[in-house]
Amino acid sequence: MIDVPPRAITTTLAVLCALAMGVAIRRGATCTVAAVNELIDERKCGRLLAILLASALVLGGLFIARSFDALPSFPAGSPVTRATVWGGLILGLGASVNGACALGTIARIGAGQWSYVATPIGYYAGCHIAARGLTAAIRVPLHDSPVLHAPASIAVLLVAIAATLSACALRSRHAGSPSRLPDTDPAENNRASWLPHSATAAIGITFVLLFVLDGAWTYTDMLADLAQGGHAGATASRGLLLGALLLGAMSAGISRAMRGERAGGTRVTPSLLARCLSGGALMGWASLMIPGGNDSLVLVAMPLLRPYAWVAFAAMCFAIGIVSLSRRLLHARRQHETSERA
């Protein structure tokens, strides 16, 4: 009989969770930039509520895991400072330049928008550069998360909050409206789309399982650790999870290719590559100021009820909204000038 090490079983289960998370991110087109743009353009908050639903589900999952004494150690916290606000604003600016947040980048790579492969590279570079400039500004971690000290009865309240957010997300979007990413084949979008609340619910559940199995893993934290000279062995094992995440995001395209169908994708252009590199670098720089990228905020720090995460996420959404409104006003002005010349 083959003796399988427990670590191998845990790693396999963690990889499967990352794979499932990648599928959910791609099929739900999960992205904070898209959520804010939906709020501005359509006066709907379905995507934004769906993102908050993921945080609520992770929080509920943490309470359940705690009741079974299955929680690993939590990442360190951080106080709310001016750097937190500025980091959130820069994070939103970087996401706007990039055209997608950290989770949205994975969705776009899965959709065949290969220019976005440059975003993680830029993110790493931004972390590497910022790590030198911000070394003297590293803050002392705060106390443990209040999640550890809250009564177990609060889980009932979390279920009610999650149910309310789900109902609001359902009402804010038409039942059959698919999640779309720009510059992709509409037919491909229709074949591989979930409603946002369904996708973020799957992301939240798989992340809790991944949290219990392998700790609080996000790919942006892995890139930040690597840029700051993290432990090579730990980074390599977490890199396996990143590979599984990308594989899950690209699973629909791989499946079509295996069936002999036309593979979708968009043309890589120098301008888009520059946008992705610079946007990723800005997000990486901001992640050390906060600390954490937007996926880390939504899936780790916000569910742990850490104030700095909520402040940074609000600042990020504000910055995305300002950039989005500025672009629309500039576009409207150009159209008006063109019509006057005609």
- DSSP helix/strand/coil, 173: coil
Q: pLDDT tier at 314 (50, 70, 90 boundaries)? A: very high
Domain residues of the chain, as ranges?
Answer: 7-341
Handedness of CA 93, 94, 100, 102 (dihedral sign): negative
Q: What are the backbone angles phi and psi of residue 261, rounded to the nearest 5°?
A: -85, 165
Residue-wise pLDDT tens digits, 112-161: 888 899 999 999 999 888 877 655 444 545 555 655 555 555 555 655 66
More confident call, 219 vs 190 = 219
Contact 93, 323 (CB under 8 A): yes
Residue-wise pLDDT tens digits, 225-252: 888 776 555 566 777 888 888 888 888 7
Looking at mean pLDDT, say which of 189-193, 260-264, 313-317 comes out highest. 313-317
**Predicted pLDDT of residue 2:** 54
Residue carrying the six token digits 């850490």: 306
**Predicted pLDDT of residue 63:** 78
Contact 116, 109 (CB under 8 A): yes
pLDDT at 302 over 60: yes
Contact 101, 287 (CB under 8 A): no
**Predicted pLDDT of residue 183:** 54
Residue-wise pLDDT tens digits, 205-215: 888 888 888 77
Q: What are the backbone angles phi and psi of residue 265, rounded to the nearest 5°?
A: 160, 160
Per mean pLDDT, which range of 50-64, 159-173, 293-307 is the poorest?
Answer: 159-173
| Length reported for the chain | 342
Distance between CA atoms of residues 31 and 276, nearest Å: 15
Determine the average pLDDT of the residues in 197-210: 82
More confident call, 309 vs 267 = 309
pTM for the structure as a whole: 0.82
**Predicted pLDDT of residue 146:** 59
Looking at mean pLDDT, say which of 74-78, 175-179, 217-221 comes out highest. 217-221
pLDDT at 168 over 60: no
**Predicted pLDDT of residue 201:** 80
pLDDT at 48 over 70: yes
pLDDT at 193 over 50: yes
84: Cα separation from own chain's centroid: 18
